């Protein structure tokens, strides 16, 4: 399945007050793997940015002065998103702004038309962690995801972090069942990061000395005497003890 994890930054919070999108960031996932493909664009909104919004994302009107308008990038954005399942945190907010931009540039489409569906990761988080804070920072802390780069909100960075959060929330093993072909159920396979031995110090191995081996042999002999049919482990040599 092809999925797009998406985030936007805007001039303000209310689309009903004609606030506009000023940044779009999106990353692609296929079969629960980040592909490396991404879409990122700053956009000239043709209106002022509210001070409160600027404090959140740090994007100024001066910075956007030479950036393209949404109508100029609409086709490129649609080509990247079309046909994919789109994952957005607090999806209603971003979808409302995107649909508004489509109307303004007469694109005659909506997110629910161009995509294979929109998944609200905030709703998923509230179901998974009821009664807890479920903003992106809280989820990163809960799932052990590094978000130290996130000093301000940024659409592409937030999309990258949300992709990790989404995979973390949905990648756990649901059962130990196997399908009729004998393989693990694909829906329950863990696709998260694998253990990386390079990030850990080498295991220290302490060799057993002669006295320890003698004591071990005596203990096994005692166990063997208590077993009517003998004990298989008495033929297993002891080479080392890991610490």
134, 125 in Cβ contact below 8 A? Answer: yes
d(CA 74, CA 121): 24
136, 158 in Cβ contact below 8 A? Answer: yes
Question: Does the active-site annotation cover 216?
Answer: no
- With tokens 């086709």, the residue in question is 75
- Write the CA distances from 32 to 60, 119, 127, integer angstroms: 35, 15, 21
Residue in 121, 72, 124 with CA at minimum distance from that of residue 94: 121
List the structure tokens of 204: 């220290």
- With tokens 């929330």, the residue in question is 169
List the structure tokens of 57: 């994302």
CA angle 152, 154, 158 (to 5 degrees): 105
21, 9 in Cβ contact below 8 A? Answer: yes
| Candidate list 19, 40, 89, 153, residue with the active-site label | 153
List the structure tokens of 228: 């009517």
| Positions marked active-site | 153
């Amino acid at each position: 399945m092809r999925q797009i994890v998406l985030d936007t930054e805007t001039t303000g919070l209310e689309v009903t007050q004609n606030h506009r999108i000023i940044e779009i960031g999106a990353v692609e996932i296929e079969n629960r793997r980040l592909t490396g493909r991404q879409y990122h664009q700053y956009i000239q909104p043709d209106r002022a940015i509210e001070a409160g919004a600027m404090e959140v994302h740090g994007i100024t009107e001066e910075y956007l002065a030479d950036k393209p308008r949404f109508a100029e990038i609409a086709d490129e954005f649609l080509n990247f998103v079309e046909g994919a399942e789109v994952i957005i945190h607090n999806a209603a907010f971003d979808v409302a702004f995107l649909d508004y931009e489509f109307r303004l540039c007469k694109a005659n489409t909506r997110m629910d038309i161009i995509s294979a569906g929109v998944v609200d990761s905030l709703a998923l988080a509230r179901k998974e962690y009821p009664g807890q804070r479920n903003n992106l920072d809280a989820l990163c802390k809960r799932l052990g995801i590094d978000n130290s780069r996130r000093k301000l909100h940024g659409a592409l960075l937030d999309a990258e972090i949300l992709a990790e959060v989404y995979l973390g929330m949905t990648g756990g093993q649901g059962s130990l069942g196997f399908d009729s072909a004998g393989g693990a159920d694909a829906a329950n396979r863990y696709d998260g990061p694998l253990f990386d031995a390079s990030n850990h110090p080498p295991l220290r191995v302490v060799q057993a000395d002669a006295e320890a081996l003698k004591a071990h042999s005596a203990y096994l002999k005692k166990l063997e005497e208590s077993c009517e049919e003998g004990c298989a482990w008495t033929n297993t040599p002891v080479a080392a003890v890991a610490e």
